[in-house]
Amino acid sequence: MTEITLHKGETYKLHLTSDDARHSLRINTLNLNAKIKAGEFNDVLFTPDQTGDFKANCGVYCGGTQSDGDDGACDSIVR
């Protein structure tokens, strides 16, 4: 579990990679579902539009955490 803190209205470039299979970084409330291909870096621009604490999970059927909202890939805090 990783925690990142972002600021509302600022644009961030997420630099994502996976070492096993295809995944995504999904936060439904913030309309984020960044696809992550294995073995390469995937840059996604992301501008959070609301504040709060959000849990991210995986949005593709990879056999990992995609169906378990309590075991997310990371926590995101937007200030």
**Is 74 among the residues that bind Cu ion (CB under 5 A)?**
no
CA dihedral 59, 24, 19, 62 (to 10 degrees): 20
Q: Contacting Cu ion (CB under 5 A), which of 6, 16, 23, 72? A: 23
Stretch near Cu ion under the rule CB under 5 A, chosen from 8-16, 25-33, 38-46, 53-61: 53-61
Q: Contacting Cu ion (CB under 5 A), which of 37, 64, 74, 75? A: 64
- Quick one: how far is CA 59 from the chain centroid? 9
According to DSSP, the residues that pair with 38 across neighbouring strands are: 18
Nearest to 13, CA basis, from 50, 42, 33: 42
Q: How far is the CB of 36 from Cu ion (least distance, A)?
A: 8
Here the tokens at position 67 are 């169906």
Q: Contacting Cu ion (CB under 5 A), which of 44, 62, 74, 77? A: 62
